[in-house]
Amino acid sequence: MNKVLLIVMDGVGFSKTGIGDAVTAANTPTLDRLLKECPNTRLKAHGVAVGLPSDDDMGNSEVGHNALGCGQIYSQGAKLVNESIDTGKIYESETWKKAVANGKNGKLHFIGLLSDGNVHSNINHLFKMLEEAKKEGVKEVRVHVLLDGRDVPATSALTYTDALEAKLAELNGDGFHACIASGGGRMKITMDRYKADWSMVERGWNTHVSGEGRQFSSAKEAIETYRSEIPGVIDQDLPAFVIAHDGVPAGKIEDGDAVILYNFRGDRAIELSMAFDDDDFPYFDRKNRPDVFYAGMLEYDGDLKIPKNYLVSPPEIKHTLSEYLVAANVNQYAISETQKYGHVTYFWNGNRSGKFSDELETFVEIPSDKVSFDERPWMKCAEITDELIKVIKEGKYDFLRCNFPNGDMVGHTGNFDAVVCGMEALDLCLARLKAVCEENNVIMCVTADHGNADEMLEMNKKGKLQVRTAHSLNPVPFIIYDKNERHEIQPSDSYGLSNVAATVTELLGLTPDPVWQPSMLK
């Protein structure tokens, strides 16, 4: 059997316009040489190719790693929720019925990312649920808004808060009252992931649940005030705020209330769900934890059953590559730093936290720095590479996979120069891994899960360039480096991330599972 290393350069695509292309601007001689000299192609990493509603929808690391890890296309995130809302199935669920019942006796709270980025949430899902809540007799609703600026333009928060205020004004009356109660930037409060920084969740808890924090009369006032006080701040980094009237918070969460987290993506929803659901909770002091009915939009972790209640069932992903390789007795190794660790494990294995085999699968996490990633754009790529080199030389593993987060995590900061630095650090690691793969007869494949660093600027409505922090709709590379054989890739314009599983399996010397999308090899 051959040995294969698959490298995922998170957030590294091919620019179509050249505008804000930090990938090309960086000095990346190793990546350039691989693209020039090795068999390679371009993969679709967004839209319908990864199970999203349309090709206007950006890909993301979660659905990207699902597709890479299972070789198939499943309805994902927004598409799942869209289908459930369109059919009314979501409102027939016991979870929705219980939330409404609590809401009739107390208040119904919605917490979530307020944008139409379709990566973590969609504001239109919130609007539909607000309409249904009024229709079913809920009287008091509070909305706790997390500002995006990451999957949508960096300073677009007022677009979404204005739209929400308009919707609430439309619905209010006839005994129904809804308002914004609290909020803050998604990278400041609430939406931590992989237990990297519980203080973010604690700040969110204090803001949403306890109504503690700086008070404003409206979300608009809060956003405009912070922008005037913090020059250059983008939405994701805005501090927390509480809406209050005469010093009284508009929407503390209290005993008997219901809370719905309307984000559909799992990684940044798990920790808040644990804070609401878990009786044994050691991560921070929840003070007076209210007795509420809590639900998520989806089940964010199927193995750990987080949350206990959810509105829409996630896709049941079967026939994953890892499961297939375990059945074939193939030793596997997965590594990344904290920020993307779950992507090469949980999402890769079809939204499962556990392993298919403790004996045949090894997962390694390198702790991420707790700083803004533009301050250390090299992140932990050197440490990941050190570990990979060590295990490649040991020769135990047949299939190895890793994720280098630089292009994505630094890309989300909007700092072009930092992204260039991050890409150059990543390229040094590619050179080191290429050398050790040569020495140990390992086939090296290089790909990405979506674009980001390739499109750091965009034109605004006034025709001026502005910082872009969202993922791109650009294709991503798939490269094969094998010193012993020049593999041929069948030409096609239709390849997506789901074609990688079968391709890797063939490179290992095995026959791909027939349910997968076909291999790209001739």
Contact 165, 171 (CB under 8 A): no
Residues 113, 22, single domain; the answer is no
Beta bridge partners of 489: 521
Contact 309, 95 (CB under 8 A): yes
Q: What is the mean pLDDT of residues 113-142?
A: 96
Confidence of residue 321 (pLDDT cuts 50, 70, 90): very high
Range list of H helices, 343-415? 381-394, 406-409
Q: Which CATH number does the domain housing residue 213 bear?
A: 3.40.1450.10
Range list of H helices, 136-244? 157-171, 198-208, 219-229
Residues 258, 328, single domain; the answer is no
**Beta carbons within 10 angstroms of residue 507's beta carbon:** 21
Q: What is the pLDDT of residue 305?
A: 84
Q: What is the pLDDT of residue 345?
A: 97
Interatomic CA distance for residues 284 and 275, integer angstroms: 9
Interatomic CA distance for residues 340 and 361, integer angstroms: 17
Domain count, the chain: 2
User: Does a structural domain hold residue 517?
Assistant: no
Q: Nearest to residue 408, comparing CAs of 365, 470, 457?
A: 470
Percent of the chain with pLDDT over 90: 90
**Token duo for residue 469:** 């922090």
Tell me the HSE value of 138 on the side-chain side, using a 13 A CA sphere: 30
Interatomic CA distance for residues 453 and 448, integer angstroms: 11
Q: What is the mean pLDDT of residues 260-284?
A: 95
Angle in degrees, CA 447, 365, 43, rounded to 5? 10
Interatomic CA distance for residues 508 and 522, integer angstroms: 15
Interatomic CA distance for residues 509 and 390, integer angstroms: 24
Residues 259, 362, single domain; the answer is no
Interatomic CA distance for residues 240 and 489, integer angstroms: 50
User: Does a structural domain hold residue 513?
Assistant: no
**Residue at which a domain ends, from 261, 278, 312:** 312
Residues 207, 336, single domain; the answer is no
Query: pTM for this structure?
Result: 0.78
pLDDT higher for 464 or 32? 32
Q: What is the pLDDT of residue 313?
A: 80
Q: Examine the pLDDT at 410 and tell me if it is beyond 80.
A: yes
User: Does a structural domain hold residue 50?
Assistant: yes
CA 171 vs CA 102, 142, 167, 445: distances in Å: 20, 13, 6, 53
Residues 302, 342, single domain; the answer is no
Residues 231, 303, single domain; the answer is yes
Beta bridge partners of 298: 312
Interatomic CA distance for residues 300 and 314, integer angstroms: 8
Q: Nearest to residue 60, comparing CAs of 481, 468, 449, 511?
A: 449
Residues 12, 83, single domain; the answer is no
Q: What is the pLDDT of residues 94-110, one digit of tens each?
A: 999 999 999 999 999 99
Average pLDDT, the chain: 96
3-state DSSP assignment of residue 391? helix
Percent of the chain with pLDDT over 70: 99
Q: Examine the pLDDT at 288 and tell me if it is beyond 90.
A: no
**Token duo for residue 413:** 């900061």
Would the CA dihedral through 307, 316, 80, 100 be positive or negative?
Answer: negative
**Beta carbons within 10 angstroms of residue 366's beta carbon:** 20
- Measured in whole angstroms, the distance separating CA 6 from the mean position of its chain's CA atoms is 20
3-state DSSP assignment of residue 457? strand
User: Does a structural domain hold residue 174?
Assistant: yes
End-to-end Cα separation, the chain, in angstroms: 19
Confidence of residue 335 (pLDDT cuts 50, 70, 90): very high
**Residue at which a domain ends, from 254, 286, 312:** 312
User: Does a structural domain hold residue 516?
Assistant: no
User: Does a structural domain hold residue 520?
Assistant: no
Report, as residue numbers or ranges, the catalytic residues. 61
Q: What is the pLDDT of residue 76?
A: 85
Angle in degrees, CA 308, 334, 281, rounded to 5? 30
Edge to edge, what strands does the sheet with 399-404 contain? 40-43, 476-481, 442-447, 3-9, 399-404, 332-337, 361-366
Residues 150, 239, single domain; the answer is yes
Residues 71, 85, single domain; the answer is no
Three-class HEC string of 36-55: HHCCEEEEECCHHHHCCCCC
Q: What is the pLDDT of residue 300?
A: 85
Confidence of residue 303 (pLDDT cuts 50, 70, 90): low
Q: What are the DSSP calls for 478-516, one per residue?
A: EEEE-TT--PPBPP-S--BGGGHHHHHHHHHT-PPPTTS
Domain of residue 189: give its range.
78-312
Q: Examine the pLDDT at 56 and tell me if it is beyond 90.
A: no
Interatomic CA distance for residues 32 and 19, integer angstroms: 19
User: Does a structural domain hold residue 53?
Assistant: yes
Residues 223, 366, single domain; the answer is no
**Residue at which a domain ends, from 270, 294, 312:** 312
Contact 52, 67 (CB under 8 A): no
3-state DSSP assignment of residue 296? strand
Interatomic CA distance for residues 11 and 405, integer angstroms: 7
Q: What is the pLDDT of residue 302?
A: 67
Q: Which CATH number does the domain housing residue 28 bear?
A: 3.40.720.10
Residues 419, 329, single domain; the answer is yes
- Measured in whole angstroms, the distance separating CA 371 from the mean position of its chain's CA atoms is 19
Residues 279, 387, single domain; the answer is no
